[in-house]
Amino acid sequence: MPTYTADNLTVLQGLEAVRKRPGMYIGGVNAAGLHHMAWEILDNSVDEAMNGFAKSITLTLHADGQTITVEDDGRGIPVDKNKKSGKTGLELVLTELHAGGKFENDGSGNYSTSGGLHGVGASVVNALSKTLTAVVRREGSEYKMGFAKGKPTSKLLKKKGATRATGTAITFVPDATIFPKTHFNPDTLRARLETVSFLHKGVRVTFDDQVGKTKTVFQHDNGIADYLEQVQKERKAAPIHATAFYLDKPDAGPQKERVELVFRWTESTDEHVRSYVNGITTSMGGAHENGFRAGLTKAVRNYIDTHKLTPRGVKITHEDIREGLVAILSVFIPDPQFQGQTKERLNNSEVQGIVDNTLRAPLEQWLNSNASVAEGIVARIVAASRARAASRAASASVSRKSATSRLTLPGKLSDCSTKNRADSELFIVEGDSAGGSAKQGRDRVTQAILPLRGKVLNTETAGLKKVMDNKELSDLVTALGCGIGPAFDLEKLRYQRVVLLADADSDGHHITTLLLTFFYRHLPKLISEQRLFIAVPPLFRVDVGKETHWAATDEDRVRILQGLPENKKVEVTRFKGLGEMMPKTLWETTLDPATRRMLRVEINDQLETDRVMSDLMGKDPSARFRFIMERAEDADEVDV
């Protein structure tokens, strides 16, 4: 047994911890983590604008596609020396974790509200950058300082001559030894910048895309009201009423919190809420969204009860009230407590009551003042209630049919034996052949295998009845045990993880996409609750003498081969499918929790995800044609 003493402990100094464990600070080194680097710098400029010190922000994607510059006309990061450390303010901000001017709401007037309270954003970006250059203009002078991988490469240099300009410009290049891919997506950057202009009306936001050789200026004087119209247009959701409900209350709570909200009911069958705190996207919601839903439900229920509008035999639930709702919620609070550095969820419990109380009375008044609009909304809610009741009956019928059959679970399901759901996982496998290998190679105690035949139904535009008429999907729903659509109950899910396991070729990717469409449209909470995963089986086996390497993609294969000595004998084998793998090989590469790779399915941008799903899987072929033509030059080769 190895010894474990104090000498085995490692203390990481300065920004070493960031480079050692980047996922702790930016969520990972995938595309989302790469773009989070840009958001961290952008958010600092947004904080200047949010507090009235900047009117213009420009983000430049340079021609190499890897270099980002974010520039604002704010006050500029301080360059005088800090008395305690002896370092300039600029060096402190960019090289020390938890160094910044946003921790104390001390009445100094510096930052009354801010999105970056952890004080790690700029320093983390610096730590994970190959190079970073900061230019500061303040108090009539311009200063410049260079960094590499978190450490200064030059002293603070003062440019000769005076300048009347003020502000900060940060230019950085992500470190390719940290990020597998360092090229930024112009569409992702553009969408985020336009969102900033929606949330901070009056601020001029410019995207200088030197890759695409375009420059776009965003400035929305109507703020989130314009944003709502764009979201609806993207989602193709027909509105129930023309005039949206809009609320902007600058002194909503004891610390002068601001609540800005706009929403409208549509004919869509789902609810779509986009929420923000101090301009930061909160994709997982939190206290402010809970307060919005509570205030909305109470106000609508009170209106319905007061006017006795509930038909006999109809029971209206909070899901019925919110069905078809499209909403933009933006709150500004002095001391936000986020869940994690990536700030996906707001944890301030007091904000729930503030939003609830701020919304309820104005919404009731709006409904009472717009009787015809209110009647249309109530009619839509009643229709949702009736449809939900019919759906529950249909789902119950399916459950009863399964329960009374000889096997309550699909016959082709090889279930696991554990009684502890927390240890269990279901692998949805492509084909009986792959299913056979998976069944033999799995851990029978914790891993269940459900093989599917061929490509499942495209459910992008399919109704619940058509979905349940499809045997493969019906078997899948029965195996999961949690119901579908409005009858979904996460507590009844029989497995802790649901894993999509298909071949690593184009056919396998297509099957995975079809299954993702099914889960996204009919079981979205499995995604939002982080229960859905994609297995990453190898496509290639690379044998080098007695050593074996596994490559999931062509890029992995090339990377492995480039790292081998020239005189080594190499044998490369391409797998035709999971079915031809030996069970032991499938276990070692794909099923074994100690060695496997799995991708967790997440939605970082609900609007963009919805648009892409609609374009790629919908009935309109022109959207797919446009998608292919726009990206044709990016494809080195096509696996057909």
Name the residues annotated as catalytic: 430, 503, 505, 507
Q: CB 301: neighbour CB atoms within 10 A?
A: 15
- Cα separations in angstroms, 251 against 294, 323, 334, 443, 621: 20, 30, 12, 58, 49
* DSSP element (H, E) containing 257: none
Task: Provide the Cα torsion 211, 212, 217, 223; round to 10°.
Answer: -100
The secondary structure of residue 239, as a DSSP letter, is B
**DSSP track, 156-213:** -EEPSS-----EEEEEEEE-TTT-S-----HHHHHHHHHHHHHHSTT-EEEEEETTTT
Note whether 452 and 472 are within 8 A (CB). yes
Note whether 138 and 75 are within 8 A (CB). yes
d(CA 221, CA 244): 17
What is the Cβ-side half-sphere exposure of residue 133, based on CA atoms within 13 angstroms? 9
* DSSP element (H, E) containing 427: strand 425-430
Of 333, 286, 277, give the one whose Cα is nearest residue 105.
333
The secondary structure of residue 636, as a DSSP letter, is S
Note whether 146 and 157 are within 8 A (CB). no
Of 546, 576, 542, 536, give the one whose Cα is nearest residue 559.
542
Of 501, 361, 375, give the one whose Cα is nearest residue 442.
501
- Cα separations in angstroms, 528 against 18, 407, 605: 27, 31, 12
d(CA 203, CA 205): 6
Amino acid at 38: A
- Cα separations in angstroms, 164 against 58, 87, 170, 292: 18, 25, 19, 45
**DSSP track, 373-389:** HHHHHHHHHHHHHHHHH
Bridge-partner residues for 271, per DSSP? none
Tell me the residue length of the chain. 640
Residues 6+ apart with CB under 8 A from 371: none
d(CA 29, CA 619): 35
Angle between helices 606-617 and 186-199 (to 10 degrees): 130
Of 73, 69, 76, 99, give the one whose Cα is nearest residue 87.
99
Residues 6+ apart with CB under 8 A from 396: 487
Between the two ends of the chain, the Cα-to-Cα distance in Å is 52
Long-range contacts of 481-486 (CB under 8 A, 24+ apart): 482/523, 482/526, 483/395, 483/399, 484/395, 484/522, 484/523, 485/391, 485/395, 485/522, 486/319, 486/388, 486/391, 486/392, 486/395
